[in-house]
């Protein structure tokens, strides 16, 4: 009987030693070597272990599979691209592929971008499946379940995606971000604004976004635009003309440019343009819905990144003569 119990204790001790040995090996740093792996969907743990062995990251595929079985994770492999730390241990690699710690790639949508620029960024993004390539704008709208324009329809930010994610999935996330922000800001908007829909607020915000990069000026520019809308004046804002021109714009507006026939040309048409002219950030949208209370009707760029605001046309003309040195041969343009 004593020999029987000694045999059981010996077997238990041997089994514990084996398990302990496995975990000792599991925590040993692996050989230096390739650290980025693409695991296609359907890859088994055995196939993954053989891949590691073939690329000389581990010594034994059997040991790696046994480690996965001991952890109860022999069939719990998630596909994707992985980048393993250097050095790494078998246990670290196992935990990464089981929990799905795949590589994520950044894509940044920049405030002020047109949809054409957004589309270019998607086409150039590494390992992103460009499922909108060659689609018409109507087809893209259908894919996004969007009724309105694609201009200004996405929130500018950095979005992270995994290997072979679709361009549509990124755009849907950016669209939802903007819609959530729009609902929040529209609900808390200032009273008695001369705009009546969230879409009009988005259009106005896109003009503000393009007019200034200075956070402290956005609400004042919004105030100027609001005053002009209330008085029935044309907005006369250069970014709408530049948007109208598209590839025709070469860095300096001319008299002919200001007369370019387009529904977006606010030197020709009253009110807001038909759609946003670019992506707008959170601060530009907030400014559109919380404009400064100002008497200013005009502003002119100083050439140093800011603007000077005027209440009267006479004061505006003085500021134009002070700040604008025109090299195009045309008279300075009042803004707006």
CA distance 35 to 88: 9
Q: Using CA atoms, how far apart are residues 45 and 75, in angstroms rounded to an integer? A: 6
Q: Quick one: pLDDT at residue 208?
A: 97
pLDDT band at 76 (very low <50, low <70, confident <90, very high): confident
What is the pLDDT, as a whole number, of residue 9? 36
Q: Over the range 42-65, which residues count as b (16 or more CB within 10 Å of their CB) and which as e?
A: ebebbebbbbbbeeebbeebebbb
Q: What is the reported pLDDT for 332?
A: 47
- pLDDT tens for residues 204-257? 999 999 999 898 999 999 999 999 999 999 999 999 999 999 999 988 889 999
The predicted pLDDT at position 228 comes to 96
Average confidence (pLDDT) over 311-331: 64
Q: How far apart are CA 283 and CA 112, in angstroms?
A: 12
Task: Report the 10 Å Cβ neighbour count for 276.
Answer: 28
User: What is the rounded CA–CA span in Å between residue 166 and residue 130?
Assistant: 6
Contact between 141 and 307 under an 8 Å Cβ cutoff? The reply is no
d(CA 253, CA 241): 8
Residue with tokens 């241990």: 89
Q: In the chain, what are the domain boundaries?
A: 2-99, 104-182, 189-323
pLDDT of residue 34: 54
Residue 48 carries which DSSP code?
Answer: H
pLDDT given for residue 259 in this prediction = 94
CA-to-CA distance for 280 and 285, rounded, in angstroms?
7
Q: End-to-end alpha-carbon separation of the chain, Å?
A: 102
List all residues 6 or more positions away from 197 whose beta carbon is below 8 Å from its beta carbon: none
Cα–Cα distances (Å) from 232 to 70, 156, 312, in that order, read 76, 31, 16
3-state secondary structure 70-125: HCCCCCCCCCEEEECCCCCCHHHHHHHHHHCCCCEEEEECCCCCCHHHHHHHHHHC
Q: Are strands 128-129 and 165-166 parallel, antiparallel or unpaired?
A: parallel
Helix (H, G, I), strand (E, B) or coil at 152: coil
Q: pLDDT class for 21, splitting at 50, 70, 90?
A: very low
Contact (CB, 8 A) for 335 and 298:
yes
Q: pTM of the prediction?
A: 0.81
CA dist., res. 124 & res. 178, Å (int): 23
Confidence of residue 310 (pLDDT cuts 50, 70, 90): confident
pLDDT for res 175: 98
In angstroms, the CA 250 to CA 234 distance is: 24
Tell me: pLDDT of 8 over 90: no
pLDDT digits (tens, 9 = 90+) for 170-199: 999 999 999 999 999 999 999 999 999 999
Residue 203 vs residues 150, 199, 240, 328, 330: alpha-carbon distances, Å? 12, 6, 11, 29, 29
Q: What pLDDT is recorded for position 168? A: 98
User: How far is Cα 277 from Cα 150, in angstroms, rounded to an integer?
Assistant: 10
| Residue 32 pLDDT grade (very low, low, confident, very high; cuts 50, 70, 90) | low
C-alpha separations of 26 from 51, 95, 235 in Å: 17, 11, 68
Residue 297, token pair as written in the block: 């009707």
Neighbours of 109 (CB within 10 A): 20
Q: Which superfamily, per CATH, for 2-99?
A: Endolytic murein transglycosylase (3.30.1490.480)
């Amino acid at each position: 009987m004593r020999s029987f119990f000694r045999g059981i204790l010996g077997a238990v001790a041997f089994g514990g030693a084996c398990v302990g040995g496995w975990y000792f090996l599991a925590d040993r740093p692996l050989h230096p070597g390739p650290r980025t792996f693409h695991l296609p969907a359907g890859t088994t743990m055995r196939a993954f272990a053989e891949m590691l062995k073939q690329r000389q990251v581990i010594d034994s595929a059997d040991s790696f599979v046994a480690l996965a079985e001991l952890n109860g994770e022999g069939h719990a492999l998630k596909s994707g691209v992985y980048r393993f730390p250097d050095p790494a241990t078998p246990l670290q690699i196992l935990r990464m592929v089981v929990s799905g710690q795949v590589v994520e790639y950044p894509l940044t949508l920049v405030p002020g971008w047109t949809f054409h620029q957004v589309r270019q960024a998607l086409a150039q993004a590494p390992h992103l499946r460009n499922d909108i390539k060659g689609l018409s704008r109507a087809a893209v709208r259908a894919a996004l379940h969007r009724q309105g324009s694609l201009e200004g329809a996405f929130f500018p930010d950095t979005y992270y995606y995994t290997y072979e994610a679709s361009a549509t999935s990124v755009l849907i996330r950016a669209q939802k971000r903007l819609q959530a922000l729009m609902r929040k800001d529209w609900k808390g908007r200032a009273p008695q604004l001369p705009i009546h829909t969230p879409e009009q607020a988005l259009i106005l915000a896109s003009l503000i976004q393009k007019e200034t990069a200075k956070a402290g000026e956005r609400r004042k520019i919004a105030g100027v635009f609001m005053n002009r809308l209330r008085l029935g004046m044309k907005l006369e804002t250069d970014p709408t003309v530049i948007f109208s021109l598209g590839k025709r714009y070469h860095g300096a507006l001319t008299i002919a440019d200001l007369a370019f026939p387009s529904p977006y040309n606010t030197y020709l048409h009253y009110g807001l343009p038909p759609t946003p002219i670019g992506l707008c950030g959170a601060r530009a949208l907030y400014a559109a819905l919380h404009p400064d209370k100002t008497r200013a009707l005009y502003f002119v760029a100083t050439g140093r990144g800011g603007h000077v605001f005027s209440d009267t046309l006479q004061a505006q003309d003085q500021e134009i003569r002070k700040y604008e040195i025109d090299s195009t041969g045309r008279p300075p343009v009042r803004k707006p």
